[in-house]
Amino acid sequence: MNRFLLMASLVLLGGVAPFIPQVALAQTPTASPTLLEESVAQNSAQRINALLRRGRELVEANDCAGAIATYREAAALDPDNARIFSAIGFCYAREENFAEAVDAYQRAIALDDRNANFHYALGFSLANAGDYGAAATAYRRATELDTDNVEAFLGLGVVLTRQSDYDGALRAYQRVISLRPNNTQVYEFMGAVYIQQGRFQEAADILKRASDLAPRRGSIQVNLGVALLSLGNVNDGLLALKRAAELEPRNVQIHLQVGNILRSQGNVDRALEYYQQAIAADASSVQAHELMGELLLEQQDYLRAIVTYRRVVELAPDNPNGHYHLGLALQGRQRNQEAIAALETARNLYQQQGNSEGVDTVEAVLREL
Protein backbone atom coordinates (compact mmCIF):
# COMPACT_ATOMS: atom_id res chain seq x y z
CA MET A 1 0.00 0.00 0.00
CA ASN A 2 1.14 3.54 -0.64
CA ARG A 3 3.04 4.66 2.48
CA PHE A 4 0.97 7.81 2.86
CA LEU A 5 -2.32 5.89 2.79
CA LEU A 6 -0.93 3.43 5.33
CA MET A 7 0.18 6.30 7.57
CA ALA A 8 -3.35 7.65 7.60
CA SER A 9 -4.84 4.31 8.57
CA LEU A 10 -2.81 3.75 11.75
CA VAL A 11 -4.59 3.86 15.11
CA LEU A 12 -3.42 4.79 18.59
CA LEU A 13 -2.10 2.21 20.99
CA GLY A 14 -3.82 0.45 23.75
CA GLY A 15 -7.42 1.65 24.01
CA VAL A 16 -8.04 3.41 27.31
CA ALA A 17 -5.38 4.37 29.85
CA PRO A 18 -5.17 2.28 33.01
CA PHE A 19 -7.54 3.13 35.81
CA ILE A 20 -6.39 4.83 39.02
CA PRO A 21 -6.17 1.88 41.39
CA GLN A 22 -8.27 1.93 44.53
CA VAL A 23 -5.63 0.84 47.03
CA ALA A 24 -7.21 -0.90 49.98
CA LEU A 25 -6.27 0.53 53.35
CA ALA A 26 -4.34 -1.71 55.69
CA GLN A 27 -6.35 -3.50 58.34
CA THR A 28 -5.40 -3.04 61.97
CA PRO A 29 -4.95 -6.51 63.55
CA THR A 30 -7.64 -7.47 65.99
CA ALA A 31 -5.37 -9.63 68.09
CA SER A 32 -1.63 -9.86 68.83
CA PRO A 33 0.52 -12.05 71.03
CA THR A 34 1.51 -9.16 73.23
CA LEU A 35 0.41 -5.60 73.85
CA LEU A 36 3.75 -4.33 72.51
CA GLU A 37 3.41 -6.24 69.24
CA GLU A 38 -0.18 -5.07 68.89
CA SER A 39 0.89 -1.47 69.37
CA VAL A 40 3.63 -1.83 66.71
CA ALA A 41 1.17 -3.41 64.25
CA GLN A 42 -1.37 -0.65 64.84
CA ASN A 43 1.22 2.05 64.27
CA SER A 44 2.39 0.34 61.06
CA ALA A 45 -1.16 0.05 59.73
CA GLN A 46 -1.85 3.69 60.52
CA ARG A 47 1.35 4.74 58.76
CA ILE A 48 0.49 2.68 55.67
CA ASN A 49 -3.03 4.11 55.53
CA ALA A 50 -1.70 7.66 55.78
CA LEU A 51 0.76 6.98 52.94
CA LEU A 52 -1.94 5.50 50.72
CA ARG A 53 -4.22 8.47 51.27
CA ARG A 54 -1.35 10.86 50.57
CA GLY A 55 -0.36 8.96 47.44
CA ARG A 56 -3.85 9.22 46.01
CA GLU A 57 -3.98 12.94 46.79
CA LEU A 58 -0.71 13.41 44.89
CA VAL A 59 -2.05 11.41 41.91
CA GLU A 60 -5.16 13.61 41.81
CA ALA A 61 -2.88 16.68 41.96
CA ASN A 62 -0.87 15.29 38.98
CA ASP A 63 2.27 14.99 41.11
CA CYS A 64 3.24 11.55 39.87
CA ALA A 65 6.84 11.75 41.10
CA GLY A 66 5.65 12.52 44.61
CA ALA A 67 3.01 9.80 44.42
CA ILE A 68 5.57 7.20 43.32
CA ALA A 69 7.87 8.06 46.21
CA THR A 70 4.96 7.86 48.63
CA TYR A 71 3.68 4.54 47.29
CA ARG A 72 7.19 3.07 47.39
CA GLU A 73 7.41 4.02 51.06
CA ALA A 74 4.09 2.23 51.61
CA ALA A 75 5.32 -0.81 49.64
CA ALA A 76 8.37 -1.05 51.90
CA LEU A 77 6.01 -1.36 54.87
CA ASP A 78 3.52 -3.65 53.07
CA PRO A 79 5.48 -5.53 50.36
CA ASP A 80 2.69 -8.05 49.71
CA ASN A 81 0.07 -5.46 48.73
CA ALA A 82 -0.40 -5.91 44.96
CA ARG A 83 -2.49 -2.78 44.59
CA ILE A 84 0.31 -0.56 45.84
CA PHE A 85 2.51 -1.80 43.00
CA SER A 86 -0.40 -1.32 40.61
CA ALA A 87 -0.66 2.28 41.78
CA ILE A 88 3.07 2.75 41.17
CA GLY A 89 2.62 1.31 37.67
CA PHE A 90 -0.23 3.70 36.97
CA CYS A 91 1.92 6.68 37.95
CA TYR A 92 4.78 5.58 35.71
CA ALA A 93 2.36 4.98 32.82
CA ARG A 94 0.94 8.47 33.26
CA GLU A 95 4.49 9.83 33.02
CA GLU A 96 5.00 7.68 29.89
CA ASN A 97 7.81 5.80 31.62
CA PHE A 98 6.48 2.52 30.32
CA ALA A 99 9.51 0.38 31.17
CA GLU A 100 9.10 1.18 34.87
CA ALA A 101 5.33 0.76 34.56
CA VAL A 102 5.85 -2.74 33.16
CA ASP A 103 8.09 -3.67 36.11
CA ALA A 104 5.56 -2.39 38.63
CA TYR A 105 2.60 -4.17 37.03
CA GLN A 106 4.58 -7.42 36.78
CA ARG A 107 5.27 -7.14 40.51
CA ALA A 108 1.55 -6.61 41.15
CA ILE A 109 0.66 -9.66 39.02
CA ALA A 110 3.24 -11.79 40.85
CA LEU A 111 1.29 -11.01 44.01
CA ASP A 112 -2.21 -11.31 42.48
CA ASP A 113 -2.42 -13.18 39.17
CA ARG A 114 -6.24 -13.17 39.09
CA ASN A 115 -6.76 -9.43 38.73
CA ALA A 116 -7.82 -8.69 35.14
CA ASN A 117 -7.14 -4.98 35.52
CA PHE A 118 -3.49 -5.63 36.35
CA HIS A 119 -3.06 -7.68 33.17
CA TYR A 120 -4.85 -5.03 31.12
CA ALA A 121 -2.60 -2.29 32.50
CA LEU A 122 0.47 -4.44 31.84
CA GLY A 123 -0.68 -4.90 28.24
CA PHE A 124 -1.20 -1.16 27.86
CA SER A 125 2.31 -0.43 29.15
CA LEU A 126 3.95 -3.14 27.02
CA ALA A 127 2.12 -1.90 23.91
CA ASN A 128 3.32 1.63 24.46
CA ALA A 129 6.84 0.29 25.04
CA GLY A 130 6.64 -1.36 21.61
CA ASP A 131 6.58 -4.99 22.82
CA TYR A 132 3.45 -5.99 20.93
CA GLY A 133 3.84 -9.75 21.37
CA ALA A 134 4.03 -9.54 25.15
CA ALA A 135 1.25 -6.95 25.14
CA ALA A 136 -1.03 -9.34 23.23
CA THR A 137 -0.33 -12.05 25.82
CA ALA A 138 -1.21 -9.69 28.68
CA TYR A 139 -4.39 -8.46 26.98
CA ARG A 140 -5.48 -12.05 26.26
CA ARG A 141 -4.99 -12.93 29.93
CA ALA A 142 -7.11 -9.94 30.90
CA THR A 143 -9.91 -11.12 28.58
CA GLU A 144 -9.72 -14.64 30.01
CA LEU A 145 -10.16 -13.32 33.53
CA ASP A 146 -12.85 -10.82 32.51
CA THR A 147 -14.68 -11.86 29.36
CA ASP A 148 -16.53 -8.54 29.25
CA ASN A 149 -13.41 -6.33 29.41
CA VAL A 150 -14.01 -4.07 26.40
CA GLU A 151 -10.79 -2.09 26.84
CA ALA A 152 -8.70 -5.27 26.87
CA PHE A 153 -10.31 -6.53 23.66
CA LEU A 154 -9.69 -3.14 22.03
CA GLY A 155 -6.07 -3.17 23.15
CA LEU A 156 -5.66 -6.74 21.90
CA GLY A 157 -7.04 -5.73 18.52
CA VAL A 158 -4.63 -2.83 18.23
CA VAL A 159 -1.48 -4.82 19.04
CA LEU A 160 -2.53 -7.67 16.77
CA THR A 161 -2.96 -5.11 14.00
CA ARG A 162 0.57 -3.87 14.66
CA GLN A 163 1.72 -7.49 14.24
CA SER A 164 -0.24 -7.76 10.96
CA ASP A 165 -2.54 -10.39 12.51
CA TYR A 166 -5.58 -8.77 10.93
CA ASP A 167 -7.93 -11.73 11.34
CA GLY A 168 -7.10 -11.94 15.05
CA ALA A 169 -7.63 -8.19 15.41
CA LEU A 170 -11.02 -8.38 13.70
CA ARG A 171 -12.10 -11.22 16.02
CA ALA A 172 -11.20 -9.08 19.03
CA TYR A 173 -13.12 -6.14 17.61
CA GLN A 174 -16.16 -8.30 16.86
CA ARG A 175 -16.20 -9.26 20.53
CA VAL A 176 -16.30 -5.57 21.44
CA ILE A 177 -19.26 -5.05 19.09
CA SER A 178 -21.09 -7.92 20.76
CA LEU A 179 -20.52 -6.24 24.13
CA ARG A 180 -20.89 -2.59 23.10
CA PRO A 181 -22.63 -2.26 19.72
CA ASN A 182 -22.48 1.54 19.88
CA ASN A 183 -18.76 1.79 20.67
CA THR A 184 -17.49 4.25 18.07
CA GLN A 185 -13.84 3.40 18.59
CA VAL A 186 -14.21 -0.22 17.54
CA TYR A 187 -15.78 0.68 14.18
CA GLU A 188 -12.97 3.17 13.55
CA PHE A 189 -10.33 0.57 14.41
CA MET A 190 -11.98 -2.04 12.21
CA GLY A 191 -12.06 0.43 9.35
CA ALA A 192 -8.30 0.92 9.73
CA VAL A 193 -7.76 -2.85 9.60
CA TYR A 194 -9.86 -3.18 6.46
CA ILE A 195 -7.84 -0.39 4.83
CA GLN A 196 -4.58 -2.16 5.61
CA GLN A 197 -6.03 -5.35 4.12
CA GLY A 198 -7.12 -3.49 0.99
CA ARG A 199 -10.79 -4.22 1.74
CA PHE A 200 -11.83 -0.67 0.94
CA GLN A 201 -15.58 -1.16 0.47
CA GLU A 202 -15.89 -2.86 3.86
CA ALA A 203 -13.76 -0.08 5.33
CA ALA A 204 -15.99 2.61 3.85
CA ASP A 205 -19.15 0.90 5.09
CA ILE A 206 -17.98 0.47 8.67
CA LEU A 207 -16.40 3.93 8.83
CA LYS A 208 -19.71 5.45 7.73
CA ARG A 209 -21.24 3.67 10.72
CA ALA A 210 -18.52 5.19 12.93
CA SER A 211 -19.21 8.61 11.41
CA ASP A 212 -22.92 8.28 12.21
CA LEU A 213 -22.05 7.53 15.84
CA ALA A 214 -19.39 10.29 16.14
CA PRO A 215 -19.96 12.83 13.37
CA ARG A 216 -17.44 15.29 14.82
CA ARG A 217 -14.41 13.01 15.14
CA GLY A 218 -11.84 14.05 12.55
CA SER A 219 -9.80 10.83 12.57
CA ILE A 220 -12.82 8.88 11.32
CA GLN A 221 -13.20 11.26 8.41
CA VAL A 222 -9.50 10.83 7.52
CA ASN A 223 -9.81 7.06 7.26
CA LEU A 224 -13.15 7.35 5.46
CA GLY A 225 -11.46 9.66 2.96
CA VAL A 226 -8.69 7.08 2.44
CA ALA A 227 -11.23 4.31 1.81
CA LEU A 228 -13.31 6.39 -0.61
CA LEU A 229 -10.28 7.61 -2.56
CA SER A 230 -9.04 4.03 -2.81
CA LEU A 231 -12.41 3.06 -4.28
CA GLY A 232 -12.01 5.78 -6.90
CA ASN A 233 -14.64 8.00 -5.30
CA VAL A 234 -12.46 11.11 -5.48
CA ASN A 235 -15.10 13.77 -4.80
CA ASP A 236 -16.53 12.16 -1.65
CA GLY A 237 -13.05 11.18 -0.50
CA LEU A 238 -11.77 14.73 -0.72
CA LEU A 239 -14.92 16.01 1.01
CA ALA A 240 -14.27 13.62 3.92
CA LEU A 241 -10.67 14.82 4.20
CA LYS A 242 -11.77 18.45 4.10
CA ARG A 243 -14.33 17.77 6.81
CA ALA A 244 -11.65 16.13 8.99
CA ALA A 245 -9.52 19.27 8.90
CA GLU A 246 -12.53 21.51 9.54
CA LEU A 247 -13.62 19.43 12.54
CA GLU A 248 -10.23 19.58 14.22
CA PRO A 249 -8.45 22.72 12.96
CA ARG A 250 -5.80 22.57 15.72
CA ASN A 251 -4.98 18.90 15.18
CA VAL A 252 -1.58 18.92 13.47
CA GLN A 253 -1.58 15.21 12.72
CA ILE A 254 -4.88 15.35 10.86
CA HIS A 255 -3.63 18.18 8.62
CA LEU A 256 -0.44 16.21 7.94
CA GLN A 257 -2.34 13.02 7.18
CA VAL A 258 -4.64 14.83 4.77
CA GLY A 259 -1.63 16.47 3.14
CA ASN A 260 0.10 13.10 2.77
CA ILE A 261 -2.97 11.54 1.18
CA LEU A 262 -3.38 14.42 -1.28
CA ARG A 263 0.32 14.19 -2.08
CA SER A 264 -0.02 10.46 -2.82
CA GLN A 265 -2.86 11.39 -5.19
CA GLY A 266 -0.59 13.85 -7.01
CA ASN A 267 -2.53 16.87 -5.74
CA VAL A 268 0.58 18.87 -4.81
CA ASP A 269 -1.00 22.30 -4.39
CA ARG A 270 -3.68 21.03 -2.02
CA ALA A 271 -1.12 18.98 -0.11
CA LEU A 272 0.97 22.10 0.46
CA GLU A 273 -2.12 23.91 1.75
CA TYR A 274 -2.66 21.27 4.40
CA TYR A 275 1.01 21.24 5.40
CA GLN A 276 0.74 25.02 5.83
CA GLN A 277 -2.39 24.55 7.95
CA ALA A 278 -0.46 22.10 10.12
CA ILE A 279 2.28 24.68 10.60
CA ALA A 280 -0.33 27.33 11.39
CA ALA A 281 -1.76 25.00 14.05
CA ASP A 282 1.69 24.41 15.57
CA ALA A 283 4.56 26.53 14.31
CA SER A 284 7.02 24.43 16.34
CA SER A 285 6.14 21.14 14.63
CA VAL A 286 9.37 19.82 13.10
CA GLN A 287 7.46 17.10 11.27
CA ALA A 288 5.18 19.61 9.56
CA HIS A 289 8.10 21.73 8.35
CA GLU A 290 10.00 18.64 7.19
CA LEU A 291 7.11 17.30 5.13
CA MET A 292 6.50 20.68 3.56
CA GLY A 293 10.21 21.11 2.80
CA GLU A 294 10.38 17.63 1.28
CA LEU A 295 7.54 18.41 -1.11
CA LEU A 296 9.01 21.80 -2.01
CA LEU A 297 12.32 20.10 -2.86
CA GLU A 298 10.49 17.61 -5.06
CA GLN A 299 8.87 20.52 -6.88
CA GLN A 300 12.26 22.27 -7.18
CA ASP A 301 10.86 25.26 -5.32
CA TYR A 302 14.27 25.79 -3.78
CA LEU A 303 13.75 29.27 -2.35
CA ARG A 304 10.75 28.24 -0.25
CA ALA A 305 12.52 25.00 0.65
CA ILE A 306 15.46 26.99 2.01
CA VAL A 307 13.16 29.07 4.19
CA THR A 308 11.38 25.93 5.42
CA TYR A 309 14.54 23.97 6.21
CA ARG A 310 16.13 26.93 7.97
CA ARG A 311 13.17 26.73 10.32
CA VAL A 312 13.71 22.96 10.69
CA VAL A 313 17.35 23.37 11.76
CA GLU A 314 16.34 26.20 14.08
CA LEU A 315 13.79 23.94 15.77
CA ALA A 316 15.99 20.82 15.72
CA PRO A 317 19.66 21.85 15.43
CA ASP A 318 20.90 18.31 16.16
CA ASN A 319 18.79 16.74 13.40
CA PRO A 320 21.20 15.91 10.55
CA ASN A 321 18.37 15.40 8.04
CA GLY A 322 17.35 19.05 8.33
CA HIS A 323 20.88 20.27 7.59
CA TYR A 324 21.23 17.78 4.73
CA HIS A 325 18.04 18.91 3.01
CA LEU A 326 18.90 22.55 3.64
CA GLY A 327 22.15 21.87 1.81
CA LEU A 328 20.26 20.36 -1.13
CA ALA A 329 17.95 23.37 -1.31
CA LEU A 330 20.90 25.77 -1.25
CA GLN A 331 22.62 23.71 -3.93
CA GLY A 332 19.48 24.05 -6.05
CA ARG A 333 19.87 27.84 -5.89
CA GLN A 334 23.61 27.49 -6.67
CA ARG A 335 24.53 28.94 -3.28
CA ASN A 336 27.34 26.44 -3.07
CA GLN A 337 29.37 27.82 -0.16
CA GLU A 338 26.30 27.91 2.07
CA ALA A 339 25.33 24.45 0.81
CA ILE A 340 28.77 23.05 1.71
CA ALA A 341 28.52 24.48 5.24
CA ALA A 342 25.07 22.93 5.77
CA LEU A 343 26.16 19.57 4.34
CA GLU A 344 29.30 19.47 6.48
CA THR A 345 27.17 20.09 9.55
CA ALA A 346 24.91 17.22 8.47
CA ARG A 347 27.92 14.94 7.97
CA ASN A 348 29.30 15.74 11.42
CA LEU A 349 25.94 15.01 13.04
CA TYR A 350 25.58 11.73 11.14
CA GLN A 351 29.09 10.78 12.29
CA GLN A 352 28.19 11.55 15.91
CA GLN A 353 25.16 9.27 15.56
CA GLY A 354 27.21 6.50 13.96
CA ASN A 355 25.08 6.70 10.80
CA SER A 356 27.56 5.63 8.14
CA GLU A 357 24.91 5.55 5.42
CA GLY A 358 24.04 9.18 6.13
CA VAL A 359 27.74 10.13 6.02
CA ASP A 360 28.18 8.42 2.64
CA THR A 361 25.12 10.16 1.21
CA VAL A 362 26.35 13.60 2.28
CA GLU A 363 29.87 13.00 1.01
CA ALA A 364 28.51 12.00 -2.39
CA VAL A 365 26.77 15.37 -2.67
CA LEU A 366 29.84 17.22 -1.40
CA ARG A 367 31.95 15.65 -4.13
CA GLU A 368 29.58 17.09 -6.72
CA LEU A 369 30.12 20.55 -5.28
pLDDT in tens, 296-314: 999 999 999 999 999 999 9
Domain presence at residue 230: no
* Average of per-residue pLDDT across 176-189: 96
| Residue 50 within a domain | yes
Query: Each residue of 90-132: pLDDT tens digit?
Result: 999 999 999 999 999 999 999 999 999 999 999 999 999 999 9
**How many whole angstroms separate alpha carbon 287 and alpha carbon 104?**
34
Supply the pTM of this predicted model.
0.77
- Residue 115 domain flag: yes
124 within a domain of the structure (yes/no)? yes
Does some domain include residue 364?
no
pLDDT at res. 43: 60
Residues whose CB falls within 8 Å of the CB of residue 111, separated by 6 or more in sequence, listed in order = 80, 81, 82, 85
Question: Residue 2 pLDDT more than 90?
Answer: no
Residue 329 is assigned to a structural domain of this protein? no
Long-range contacts, stretch 98-105, CB < 8 angstroms, 24+ apart: 98/125, 98/126, 98/128, 98/129, 99/129, 101/125, 102/126, 102/129
Per-residue pLDDT reduced to its tens digit, 198-245: 999 999 999 999 999 999 999 999 999 999 999 999 999 999 999 999
The predicted model gives 258-277 an average pLDDT of: 94
Look up the domain containing 89 and give its range.
Answer: 1-23+35-166
Q: What is the mean pLDDT of the chain?
A: 89
Look at residue 369 in the predicted model and tell me its pLDDT. 85
Quick: pLDDT tens for 10-20. 333 334 344 43
pLDDT score recorded for residue 181: 96
pLDDT at 336: 95
In a domain, 14, yes or no: yes
- The yes-or-no verdict on residue 156 having pLDDT over 90 is yes
CATH number, position 123: 1.25.40.10
CA 369 to chain centre: 41
Task: Give the range among 27-31, 46-50, 290-294, 320-324 with minimum mean pLDDT.
Answer: 27-31
What is the model's pLDDT at position 274?
Answer: 96
pLDDT exceeds cutoff 70 at 328: yes
Q: Name the domain count of the chain.
A: 1
pLDDT tens figures, 27-86: 333 444 454 444 445 667 888 889 989 999 999 999 999 999 999 999 999 999 999 999
**In this structure, is residue 336 part of a structural domain?**
no
Task: Please give the pLDDT value at position 19.
Answer: 40
Helix, strand or coil, per DSSP, at residue 347: helix
